[in-house]
Amino acid sequence: MRSGAPAASLTITDLRKDFGRTTAVGGISIDVPAGSFLVLLGPSGCGKTTTLRMLAGLEDPTGGEIRFGDRVIARGDGTTVVAPSEREAGLVFQSYALWPHKTVRQNIEWPLVVARWPRAERRSRVERVLSMLVISELADRYPGEISGGQQQRVAIARMIAPQPRVLLFDEPLSNLDARLRVETRGELMRIHRSTGATSVYVTHDQVEAMTMATHIALMKDGRIEQFGTPRELLEEPRTPFAATFIGTPPANIIRCRVEGGRLRAYGVDCGAAPAAAEGTAVQAMYRAGSLAPAPEGGPGCLPATFADQVPMADRWVVGADLADGTRVHLSRDTPVELRPGDGLGVRLPERADAYFDTTNERPAAGAAR
C-alpha cells in the first residue's frame, strides 16, 4: 500500500446482498474509470451503505462480483474474498471511529504500523499528511480535545496515510453543521484530486452528490434507479423517482390521463399528450421554472392551495398543494403575496418537460403530439 500504485477502476457486476429473506442490494452493476468520484445516492434504506461495506470488505456479497482494476476482490459464490486489509482501500466512517487513547499523530500512524512501514517512512508520511490536512498543530492532542470538524480531518488523514488506491466515505459530513459541511466538501474534493485515488462516497444529500461527483448511482430499494454524470441525472431523468429526487427544487410529477389527444388532470386540460393510447395514464414532469402561479380558478390552471415560499439564490420557490395533496414547486423572480391556505392556480405550459408511463419508464415516443 506504500508503493504509490495508481488509482484503480471500479467494476461491480450483479452485486447482491441478502440478509435472510431480506434483500438489501438486489443485483447492481456499476463501472467507473480510475480516478473517478462515484457517489452512491439515495434515501435511507436504499442499500448504499451496504454496498460500501461490501467494497470495504465489512460485508460479504451473496451474489455478483467486485473488481478493483483487474483484481477481483469479492465474489458472491465465496470463491474469492480478499481481506479488508489487503484491498488497498481506505474507509472513513460516519462516526470517524478514532481511537480515543491515541493522539492525532498516533491515530494517523497506526495503519502504517500495521502495514509494517519502516519507522522513518512512517514519520515522514505522517508529517506530510498532517500538513496536507492542515492539522499539524493538533498532532499531540487526543480526539476528545478537538472539535468534530477537526476529528473528521484526522479520520481522513488516517485513511489516506497508507496511500490506498480506493477511498471509501460513509456519509462523513453528516455530523457537521451546515457551514462546515460546505467548507469540507471543497476540502474532500481537493484531497480526491491530490491523491488521485478512486473515491466512493455515500450520502442521502443530493447537493453533496451534485457538487462532488463525477458519477452518481441513484439507488432505490436496493437497486440502481439511474446511473450517470450529475448533469445527465439532472437534465435527463429516466424515472419519476430520479426527477423528484435530483434538483433544487426537484421537478414536479403530475398524474394525467390521455383524453382526445390531450392530457387531463383534476378536471383540467393539461396540454398536449405524448404518443400514447386513449385512456392511458401518463406521468407528466414539469420543472419548477415551467410552472407559474395564476389567479384561483383561472382557465387551464390546476386548483391549488398556497403552502410556503423560500428564497433560493436570486429566485423564490413557491410550494403549493394540489387537490389530492400532491406538492408542487414553482420558481419565480419575485415572491407571491399570499398566506398559507390561500387558493391559487397553477398554470401549466402546453407541453411537459418529460413524460413517463405508470411503469416509471419514459415513453418511447416521448414527444408531444
Q: Which domain holds residue 98?
A: 10-241
CATH number, domain with residue 258 = 2.40.50.140
Q: Strands, DSSP E only, in 95-136?
A: none
Angstrom distance (rounded) from CA 359 to CA 276: 14
Angstrom distance (rounded) from CA 66 to CA 17: 12
67 and 229 Cβ atoms separated by less than 8 Å? no
368 domain residue, yes or no? no
What pLDDT sits at residue 360? 62
Angstrom distance (rounded) from CA 318 to CA 329: 6
Same structural domain, 30 and 60: yes
Query: Each residue of 271-280: pLDDT tens digit?
Result: 999 887 788 9
Q: Pick the last residue of a domain from 179, 212, 241.
A: 241
Same structural domain, 346 and 322: yes
**Edge-first strand listing for the sheet containing 262-265:** 268-272, 262-265, 252-259, 281-286, 354-357
246 domain residue, yes or no? yes
Structural domains of the chain, count: 2
Q: List Cβ neighbours of 179 (8 Å cut-off, separation of 6 or more).
A: none
Angstrom distance (rounded) from CA 137 to CA 72: 41
Query: Each residue of 306-355: pLDDT tens digit?
Result: 999 999 988 999 999 999 999 999 999 999 999 999 999 999 999 999 99
Same structural domain, 140 and 59: yes
Q: How confident is the prediction along the chain (369 residues), in pLDDT tens digits per residue?
A: 444 567 889 999 999 999 999 999 999 999 999 999 999 999 999 999 999 999 999 999 999 999 999 999 999 999 999 999 899 999 988 777 899 999 999 999 999 998 899 999 999 999 999 998 889 999 999 999 998 888 988 998 999 899 899 999 998 887 777 777 888 888 888 888 888 899 999 999 999 999 999 999 999 999 999 999 999 999 999 999 999 999 989 999 999 999 998 999 999 999 999 887 788 999 999 999 999 999 887 777 999 999 999 999 889 999 999 999 999 999 999 999 999 999 999 999 999 999 998 776 666 444 444
Angstrom distance (rounded) from CA 356 to CA 124: 57
363 domain residue, yes or no? no
Cell of 295: 389567479
98 domain residue, yes or no? yes
Cell of 276: 400514447
